[in-house]
Amino acid sequence: MKTITSFPSRSVQPPFKTSRRFIWAAIVCIPVIISGCSIGDKIDKVTDTVSDVTGNTVAALNDAIDALDQNSSSWQAVLQQTTQKLTADAQSTVRNEVSDLLNRSVAATGTELRCNVDFIGSRVRQALVRIRARLLHQSVPAVEPALCHVVPAAVDMALDSSRRNKLEFFGYDFDTTPIKVSLHSKSGTTDVSSKLDRLTHYHMTLNLGANGVPLSSSSDRLTLEWENRPISSIAVIQPATPICREKTETYTRSTNFSFTPPHTRGDREYSGHGPEVWATARWVKEDTRVNLHLWMKAQETRSDWTTAEGERIEPYYNAPSGWRIDRIESGTESSAHYIDTDHNDDPQGSGPNGPVKLFTFRGDRDGDDAGSYTSVEVDFNPLVVKLVETANCAPSSAVKSLEIKDLIAPGTLRRFQPMMLKLKP
């Protein structure tokens, strides 16, 4: 539908209407009119060049994202190959973004990071998806910080103050968004975010020294939050602090979950050429909830490579009030891959160990497919989580970590040992 702009009437009307396109055509053609220039050809060539560069750039990003879907641990080689593909001057902005991402990720691979290689590959893939979305003027997913490790895992107030003067946080993307730190005590909650120092995007420290967080005999715990959601809880161990209770909970969702990924390439019609289909479902743990990350891609096997691709992230499970999720004990990832050969629904079993028991795909049909028909429906396996209470207590895993690092007072450890024995199955 064309948009028509109305202009106020004037007392003297021009003999003809002048459009912006006409003016642009005149400006471009005047210098070359003697040589028989065709303004339409000139504009088309410029448009085609821009389109080609954008298409080639998106293709390079697609190749990188596909490679990471197949092997996330190869992120370093994938990023190096992608920068080598982006050679045109018009691709310099994206090339610089990919190069910065490579340097950023390499810097985070030291022993301090304490996140596994697959984790880094996953973060790299998310960053490439954001770069592609910006290039295509699509909605850009938010950058969420990820926490992998806290040292020490708890703060023992019986320990000499010189040995408990800071907390260290290791993870990814700490520099992209505000992170709130709160001190909880019997008298209330205090915002102590000003005591948090971001040393790098993957390393933060919280000052617990004399000029840092004002820990006292009434302090219970410290928490980190992002967008009002808890990221981590660190116990402050006092003389009467007990060991946290633990329990295992199994959650089964009886309803199915469906997703139609958006059209991203080609003419929307597979025309019997596949599509080739990939899907991955992951349970991702936060402090008090588990989210489902469901990704699907369906790509035509020839011609203009019609593609539908996207990811849907949905809250899946919430811990009961007063409890947080220590870990997921069932499998955390399911995947499927096949080539569609007909117009029927295609069930693909995934087994009992991941989030999905059964993927059911719709790929090709008569008429448009990508963005409207091509989709996946999933049947879930049970989710099994280990829960730890969030009262003023110390998790047994934190106590064990403190013992290994010699960051717990002998008297505190002796007091905890009988309570920890009761937790053993």
Residue 47 burial by CB count (10 A; 0-12/13-18/19+): exposed, middle or buried?
exposed
Using one digit for the tens of pLDDT, what is the confidence trace for 172-223?
889 888 899 999 998 899 999 999 999 888 899 999 999 999 999 999 999 9
SS3 144: coil
Per-residue pLDDT of the chain (425 residues; tens, 9 = 90+): 333 333 333 333 444 334 444 444 444 444 443 344 454 444 444 444 445 678 889 889 988 988 887 788 888 999 999 999 998 887 899 999 999 999 888 877 764 555 766 678 888 888 998 899 888 888 887 788 888 889 999 999 999 999 999 999 988 889 888 899 999 998 899 999 999 999 888 899 999 999 999 999 999 999 999 988 888 899 999 999 999 999 999 999 888 899 999 998 899 999 999 999 999 999 988 889 999 999 999 999 988 889 999 888 899 999 999 999 989 999 999 999 999 999 999 999 888 889 999 999 999 999 999 999 999 999 999 999 999 998 889 999 999 999 999 999 999 999 999 998 887 65
The domain made up of 146-242+392-423 has a fold known as Immunoglobulin-like (2.60.40)
Domain positions in the chain: 39-135, 146-242+392-423, 248-386
Q: Which of 407, 398, 408, 412 is nearest to 149 (CA)?
A: 398
Owner of token pair 């030291």:
110
pLDDT at 207: 97
SS3 259: strand
pLDDT at 114: 58
Q: Which amino acid is at 107?
A: A
Long-range pairs for 210-216: beta carbons < 8 A, 24 or more residues apart:
212/165, 212/166, 213/181, 213/183, 214/183, 214/190, 215/155, 215/157, 215/183, 216/185
Q: Which of 4, 104, 90, 105 is nearest to 55 (CA)?
A: 90
Burial 116-149 (b: 16+ CB within 10 A, else e): eeebbbbbbbbbbbbbbeebeeeeeeeebbbbee
pLDDT at 112: 52
pTM for this entry? 0.72
Residues 6+ apart with CB under 8 A from 284: 290, 291, 292, 293, 332
Q: Which of 294, 347, 293, 290 is nearest to 323 (CA)?
A: 290
